[in-house]
């Protein structure tokens, strides 16, 4: 097992053929200590001083860079039609104390039944999508 204490690079300069993925769910990016297995079967142990980032290089050999990738997850996505609506949505969603990501004019929220009920009750149009979810750091469970 290879022990990883820090991320070596934010992204690999090598071509994709020389990169080996280690897939991890978002919650593992929040942990200091955990274990994972790369696509080629190489085992890693993590004892981190700081959090990893999606796409970061965690180990290098002469043949390949080992890259940690966050697994996509199912989220709700809402597109506010105005600044006033966005503020109201932010206030109501904030009261649920769930992870949110604001990107490209949309609000992405943790997939949770409370969010579904809120959207249906308020009549907000939403969609369920699977993406790399990076909630704001001010929310619970943010990386």
**Is residue 45 very low, low, confident or very high in pLDDT (cuts 50, 70, 90)?**
very high
Q: Which fold has domain 73-131?
A: Alpha-Beta Plaits (3.30.70)
Looking at residue 107, what is its pLDDT?
96
Bridge partners (DSSP) of residue 76 are: 109, 128
List, for residues 73-90, the tens digit of each pLDDT value. Answer: 999 999 999 999 999 999
User: Which comes out higher in pLDDT, residue 103 or 142?
Assistant: 103
Looking at residue 139, what is its pLDDT?
44
Residues 6+ apart with CB under 8 A from 110: 75, 76, 98, 99, 100, 133, 135
CB 95 within 8 A of CB 39: no
List the one residue out of 87, 84, 78, 74 whose CA is nearest residue 118: 78
Global pTM value = 0.78
User: Which comes out higher in pLDDT, residue 50 or 117?
Assistant: 117
Bridge partners (DSSP) of residue 2 are: 44
Q: What is the CATH number of domain 2-70?
A: 2.60.260.20
CB 53 within 8 A of CB 35: no
The residue-averaged pLDDT of 24-42 equals: 94
CB 44 within 8 A of CB 61: no
The residue-averaged pLDDT of 15-34 equals: 94
Cα–Cα distance measured from residue 68 to residue 46, given in angstroms and rounded to the nearest whole number: 11
The values of phi and psi at residue 97, to 5°, are 55, 45
The residue-averaged pLDDT of 3-26 equals: 96
Looking at residue 95, what is its pLDDT?
92
User: Which comes out higher in pLDDT, residue 29 or 18?
Assistant: 18
Domain spans of the chain, in order of start: 2-70, 73-131
List, for residues 96-141, the tens digit of each pLDDT value. Answer: 999 899 998 999 999 999 999 999 999 999 999 999 998 887 644 5
Supply the DSSP symbol for 9.
Answer: B
List the one residue out of 80, 78, 115 whose CA is nearest residue 94: 115
Mean residue pLDDT of the chain comes to 93
């Amino acid at each position: 097992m290879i022990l990883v204490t820090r991320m070596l690079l934010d992204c690999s300069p090598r071509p994709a053929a020389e990169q080996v993925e280690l897939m991890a769910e978002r919650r593992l990016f929040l942990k200091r200590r955990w274990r994972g297995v790369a696509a080629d079967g190489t085992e890693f142990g993590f004892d981190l001083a700081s959090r990893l980032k999606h796409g970061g290089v965690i180990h290098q050999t002469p043949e390949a860079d080992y890259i940690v990738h966050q697994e996509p997850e199912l989220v709700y996505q809402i597109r506010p039609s105005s600044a006033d609506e966005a503020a109201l949505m932010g206030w109501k969603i904030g009261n649920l104390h769930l992870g949110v990501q604001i990107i490209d004019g949309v609000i992405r929220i943790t997939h949770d039944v409370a969010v579904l009920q809120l959207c249906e009750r308020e009549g907000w149009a939403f969609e369920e999508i699977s993406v790399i979810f990076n909630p704001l750091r001010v929310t619970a469970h943010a990386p």
